[in-house]
């Protein structure tokens, strides 16, 4: 069967990572090389920009800047958190997307993102089939949370894990210098899966090294047990470093962050906006354990620290973007590019195709047997799983002592359709 001729569109969605642009670069450069794809469009701010017909031509960008995307953090094309409702509930959105595709002869759609983004790629693929529009829609995985199912791991996770493990080691060295008891509480990303927080364990070389305890969303959180854990570390080492996921919940299912803010805001996908749980834990320690407490909220730095990205993660991210184009030209649609870990002693990885139906809106959590019985640390198999993903360092182009990252012009093309109004 002859490959489908036409243009392609690449877009990014959700929270950025330090290597999401490596995936985009893989898509763009392979599309240029393909011979089947003519124009390569980018959508400004993901599917939200697609609906507005806010598109720009990547063919007109400097090849040097596109190459620099490989080592540039955050979402160079612009991101969004726009929730596509079901086709039945909001068919106008889908009709608009197909209209934009038709207006610009876009026959390939590559959407880079996490759980919700895979849902979008899946719905667009299904609608195109329903209305008879020939389109190849492929999801490219991205999430530091590492919670997409079936794929062995996700682009972005390894680099964030490398940064967290390194900085936890450095925080630990700082925390242990005093002759009085100190507690340092580190808040890390992770709503319902604790893969990222678990990576803090890579920092520990000997028993008294940080982190002393790790608390994950997979285990119900007890303030009483937390207090006892912290006291035990202070008794042994005179300092305690705690790593915990922002999504930890009490035994009754309430996020720790909601204790301070019972009316917590929600994002476009209905998720409670997390953050601030470290302040709750800090207050508990001050009142019940120790008067010298520091909190470190890693916030967005953990997902944007490209200066300390994993080379393995960076190369695999590019590989996923490149493979997405290859799979699409072969004729696949409604799929996500996944990663398969080799069975040998030496770490290897290759891509596979996964049905978007099997990924969209689903989560992969840490297996219970990879968490210790006390629920406050991880077991060796989880360390063995993470360690190969943080290997190697990315060479960053430097100018005047700081990194030089990509600068895309993103000049919007002339619109062919009427202005879109959100219904």
DSSP per-residue letters across 290-352 = -S-EEEEE-TTHHHH-GGG-BHHHHHHHHHHHHHHHHHHHHT--SEEEEEEE-SSSS--EEEE
DSSP 3-state assignment of 383?
helix
In angstroms, the CA 220 to CA 328 distance is 42
In angstroms, the CA 324 to CA 327 distance is 5
* Helix (H), strand (E) at residue 112: strand 106-113
* 145 classed as catalytic: yes
Residues 6+ apart with CB under 8 A from 226: 213, 215, 281, 284
In angstroms, the CA 315 to CA 324 distance is 14
Angle at 146 between CA 111 and CA 358, to 5 degrees: 60
Specify burial of residue 378 (Cβ count, 10 A radius: 0-12, 13-18, 19+): buried
CA atoms within 13 Å, Cβ hemisphere of 39:
15
Q: Are 310 and 388 in contact (CB under 8 A)?
A: no
In angstroms, the CA 286 to CA 77 distance is 44
State both tokens at 349: 């990885």
Residues 6+ apart with CB under 8 A from 167: 298
- Indicate which residue of 119, 145, 229, 313 is catalytic: 145
User: Which amino acids are annotated catalytic?
Assistant: 145
């Amino acid at each position: 069967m002859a490959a489908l001729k036409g243009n392609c569109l690449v877009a990014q969605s959700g929270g950025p990572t330090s290597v999401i642009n490596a995936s985009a670069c893989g898509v763009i450069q392979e599309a240029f090389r393909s011979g089947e794809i003519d124009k390569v469009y980018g959508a400004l701010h993901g599917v939200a920009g697609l609906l507005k017909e806010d598109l720009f031509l990547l063919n007109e960008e400097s090849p040097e800047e596109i190459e620099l995307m490989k080592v540039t953090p955050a979402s160079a094309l612009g991101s969004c958190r726009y929730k596509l409702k079901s086709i039945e509930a909001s068919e106008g959105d889908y009709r608009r997307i197909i209209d934009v595709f038709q207006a610009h002869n876009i026959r390939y759609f590559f959407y880079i993102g996490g759980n919700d983004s895979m849902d979008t790629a899946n719905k667009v693929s299904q609608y195109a089939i329903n209305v008879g529009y020939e389109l190849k829609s492929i999801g490219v995985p991205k999430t530091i949370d590492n919670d997409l199912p079936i794929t062995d791991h996700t682009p972005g996770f390894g680099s964030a894990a490398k940064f967290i493990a390194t900085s936890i080691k450095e925080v630990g060295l700082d925390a242990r210098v005093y002759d009085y008891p100190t507690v340092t509480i580190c808040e890390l990303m992770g709503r319902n899966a604790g893969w990222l927080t678990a990576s803090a364990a890579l920092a520990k070389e000997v028993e008294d090294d940080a982190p002393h305890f790790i608390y994950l969303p997979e285990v119900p959180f007890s303030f009483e047990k937390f207090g006892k854990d912290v006291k035990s570390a202070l008794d042994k080492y005179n300092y305690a470093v705690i790593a915990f996921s922002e999504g930890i919940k009490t035994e009754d299912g309430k996020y720790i962050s909601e204790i301070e803010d019972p009316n917590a805001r929600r994002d476009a996908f209905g998720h409670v906006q997390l953050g601030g749980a470290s302040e709750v834990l800090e207050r508990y320690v001050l009142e019940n354990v120790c008067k010298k407490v520091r909190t470190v909220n890693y916030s967005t730095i953990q997902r944007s620290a490209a200066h300390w990205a994993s080379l393995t993660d960076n190369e695999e991210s590019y590989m996923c973007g490149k493979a997405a184009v290859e799979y699409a030209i072969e004729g696949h649609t409604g799929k996500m590019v996944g990663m398969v870990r080799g069975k040998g002693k030496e770490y290897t990885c290759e891509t596979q195709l996964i049905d978007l139906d099997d990924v969209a809106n689903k989560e992969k959590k840490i297996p219970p047997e990879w968490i210790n019985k006390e629920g406050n640390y991880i077991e060796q198999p989880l360390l063995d799983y993470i360690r190969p993903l943080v290997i190697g360092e990315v060479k960053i182009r430097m100018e005047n002592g700081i990194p030089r990252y990509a600068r895309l012009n993103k000049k919007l093309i002339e619109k062919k359709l009427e202005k879109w109004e959100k219904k």
